[in-house]
Structure 1
Amino acid sequence: MPNRTPSATGRKLTLVVLGLAALITTMLCAFALPSLHSGPHRVPIGVTGSDGVPEALRQSADGEAWDVRRYPSPAALREAVEDRDIAGGLAVTAHRIDVYTATAGGPSATSALTALGDGVAAQQGTRATVHDLAPFTEDDPRGAGMTAALLPMIFGGIFPALILGSVFPGHRGLRTRIAGALLFSLVAGAAIAAVLQFATHSVDGNYWLTALGLALGTAALSTTLLGLQALLGMAGFALGGALMMLLGNPLSGLATGPHWLPTGWAALGQLLPPGASGSLLRANAFFDGSGAGLPALTLAVWTGSGIALALLADRRGRRPATARSEAAVARPVGIGG
């Protein structure tokens, strides 16, 4: 028996060390690899002009960088950009080239598309004129405020799960924690939207629509963490927090736009709450809700899944309580002699 304790301690220490090493390695990969391979990856852009324009553009552009689509007119091209079907486009004529961009949808893609338009114009001996159809606000032309909102949104999901779990612990406080997280999400969404729109003037558009989108993003984070914590304990909370911080944060694409990440990383990032929250914020704040459907659905699924995990934990917690009650009823009552 005395020999087992050091052995068990050694195994536990080994597991902890290996787990921490795996965590640091995952963190390094999540932050470094997408950055090393960043750049335009199949960015959807439109072109309009003579019959040879799309083919010529495909030859001059890197096939891995751009997904070139043909549009019948400049008006159709503009509409596609405003609806977020494409990131931008080129309207090419014999005498000029009009470059249509949407900086708020992805500033890095806008810069690359502008350079592409200048290159095509130089080949034709003409000039390129840039039309930004969805710019950032005048007070925040680089979108710094919107980018800075990502970490508060993530912590807005982590802190409620941690604090509510301490204030309302155990099985009895589970439903109170879920209700508190949902209520906090509404308040946090309204507060973050107010700061971004009225204090820093970083976003524009319908305030309430933006606030509801931010509330949904916060709810997706907080309910998921609460559900994992209720079902798996602190290990579940740690797993969820690491997933959101170490993968969701660097893969969100909020600063650059999702098309600037490698294809697989970008797809994963948009399926996680931070990436979906960022896309929903862009859609509501700068595109009048265009393109909001998929990120809103993604966040709703995360929110529903978190609540479902909590209800499952609630059901499991009721079983021991019911068993104890039945045992107490069935126990024979002693008769005093």
Structure 2
Amino acid sequence: MADQHGAHGPDGTPAHDGAGPRGDAPGDGTGAAHGAHGRPPTAAQRWRAFKASPFLPACVLLFILAAAAGLFAGSYTYAMANPTPRHVPIAIVGRETAPGGGPSREKVFADGMEEALNASLRLTAYPTYAQARKAIEEQREFAVVRPREAGVELDVAGAAGASVAELLATAGPRVGEAVGVPVRVQDIKPLQKGDPRGLALFYISLAAVIVGFVGAIQLSVHARALNPAERIAFTIAYALLGGFVIAAVVDWWLGALRLPFVHSWLILSFTMFTTGMVFTMFNTLMGRWAMIPTWGVMVLLGNPSSGGAVSWPLLPSVLGHIGQWLPPGASVNAQHTAVYFAGSQHLFPYLVLAGWSVVSCTVFWVWRHRHPGGREPEQPPAHAAE
């Protein structure tokens, strides 16, 4: 029976061999030493454990999200809170000098406008009103100043830029009264009634931009096993379907805009595909941190400088130039021309979208082995190899 209950000492208590349940160090009888597990971890060990835990990316995200919130508010406030005219292109029809000498009333009015707006108007002389009107259609000019009886007529183009047209239409009569030149203001290219502020095109382009890269994010999370060709195909598919739904809701359901439906649909789809592939490219290059450059290019920089909410002549000059080279600005530009200036299409915005798409797809395809998604090729059954 003693064998069944273990060894006992002379006093009847259980005997220990130094490695029993108490874990005492052999021979010392103190029970204070616990081997390697009893020592507190070093700073290096704590840091390695922290890096391997989910707490490191969570802490990094704390600071990234805080910075993104501030930059998001700052970028939109900087671009849109106080739009200021900078080099507004204006056509002028008529003479610079009056028949009796001295500046003509058109020139007096234009100089008064420049002083009142505290900006350098970019005046371009046209021999005829027809030529100046053509420049408006081609979006090279935002307004026309021409002689009219004893005064001048200021023709603005709301469709060319609602914020610019509003600014000029408000300042024109005041300047005319100040310089003694009667002024009549008319909008020769008005916005559609369902979009009196000219913001609907900006909103639908914004929807295409954001849903485009959010769709790519969702594919990377919920359809991670897609192979490269399948990923591109599904990006095309959700872009086509999403662009169609955006155009249908705004035009057919809400009636806010009368769109050239197929043309607008394809621009929206092109935008969604481009932004989706931009995220996929960054995901290939940067892994889980791909959202940072995508958000920076598309939202922090691209949307405020797109010219949709505030026309380019009123944006800070650097933003006005950069915005035209980014997908949001190209999308707004293409959509704006398709809706209001269909007879004067520009190739540039489509080239910008195409350039971003080609670069993104090329980077993704060449370095597709680095993309966190995809799946291993299926192995043939064992009996097939025999």
Q: TM-score, normalised by structure 1?
A: 0.83
- Given that 1:181 and 1:222 are in contact with CA atoms closer than 8 Å, whether structure 2 keeps it comes out as yes
Distance in 1 (CA, whole Å) between partners of 2:160 and 2:253 is 22
Aligned counterpart for 1:88 among listed residues 143, 150, 167: 143
Deviations along 1:191-248, one digit per CA (max 9) or x if unpaired, are 2222222223333352212222222211211111112113321212342134312222
Distance in 1 (CA, whole Å) between partners of 2:307 and 2:209 is 14
Whether 1:70 and 2:115 are equivalent positions in the alignment is no
Aligned counterpart for 1:261 among listed residues 310, 315, 319: 315
- Given that 1:45 and 1:67 are in contact with CA atoms closer than 8 Å, whether structure 2 keeps it comes out as yes
Give 1:20 deviation, angstroms.
Answer: 4.4
Distance in 2 (CA, whole Å) between partners of 1:312 and 1:84 is 39
- Given that 1:90 and 1:98 are in contact with CA atoms closer than 8 Å, whether structure 2 keeps it comes out as yes
Q: TM-score, normalised by structure 2?
A: 0.73
Counterpart residue number, 1:127 = 183
Amino acid at match of 2:139: R
Distance 1:292 1:200, change over 3 A: farther
Amino acid at match of 2:231: R
Whether 1:101 and 2:156 are equivalent positions in the alignment is yes
Give 1:57 deviation, angstroms.
Answer: 4.5
Whether 1:4 and 2:44 are equivalent positions in the alignment is yes
Distance 1:20 1:5, change over 3 A: farther
Distance 1:298 1:4, change over 3 A: same
Bigger relative contact order, structure 1 or 2 (CA pairs below 8 A, ≥6 apart): 1
Give 1:254 deviation, angstroms.
Answer: 0.9
- Given that 1:81 and 1:87 are in contact with CA atoms closer than 8 Å, whether structure 2 keeps it comes out as yes
Deviations along 1:249-281, one digit per CA (max 9) or x if unpaired, are 222231222222111122222222112211111
Whether 1:286 and 2:340 are equivalent positions in the alignment is yes
SS at match of 2:324: helix
Amino acid at match of 1:279: N
Deviations along 1:60-91, one digit per CA (max 9) or x if unpaired, are 21463521111111111111111111112211
- Given that 1:140 and 1:201 are in contact with CA atoms closer than 8 Å, whether structure 2 keeps it comes out as no
Which has the larger share of helix? 1
Whether 1:59 and 2:111 are equivalent positions in the alignment is yes
Distance in 2 (CA, whole Å) between partners of 1:12 and 1:139 is 49
Distance 1:255 1:316, change over 3 A: closer
Distance in 2 (CA, whole Å) between partners of 1:131 and 1:21 is 44
Counterpart residue number, 1:330 = none
Q: How many residues align?
A: 318
Give 1:316 deviation, angstroms.
Answer: 5.2
- Segments of 5+ residues of structure 2 without an aligned counterpart are 1-40, 98-103, 380-386
Distance in 2 (CA, whole Å) between partners of 1:146 and 1:78 is 23
- Given that 1:30 and 1:251 are in contact with CA atoms closer than 8 Å, whether structure 2 keeps it comes out as no
Whether 1:41 and 2:97 are equivalent positions in the alignment is no
Whether 1:201 and 2:232 are equivalent positions in the alignment is no
Whether 1:237 and 2:305 are equivalent positions in the alignment is no
Distance in 2 (CA, whole Å) between partners of 1:57 and 1:238 is 49
- Given that 1:168 and 1:176 are in contact with CA atoms closer than 8 Å, whether structure 2 keeps it comes out as no
Distance in 2 (CA, whole Å) between partners of 1:163 and 1:45 is 46
Of 253-262 and 61-70, deviating more is: 61-70
Whether 1:271 and 2:325 are equivalent positions in the alignment is yes
Distance 1:67 1:90, change over 3 A: same
Give 1:124 deviation, angstroms.
Answer: 3.8
Distance in 2 (CA, whole Å) between partners of 1:216 and 1:65 is 36
Distance 1:64 1:291, change over 3 A: farther
- Segments of 5+ residues of structure 1 without an aligned counterpart are 326-337
Distance in 1 (CA, whole Å) between partners of 2:346 and 2:63 is 41
Distance 1:204 1:164, change over 3 A: same
Larger radius of gyration: 2
Distance in 1 (CA, whole Å) between partners of 2:108 and 2:183 is 17
- Given that 2:312 and 2:320 are in contact with CA atoms closer than 8 Å, whether structure 1 keeps it comes out as yes
Amino acid at match of 2:258: D
- Given that 2:239 and 2:270 are in contact with CA atoms closer than 8 Å, whether structure 1 keeps it comes out as yes
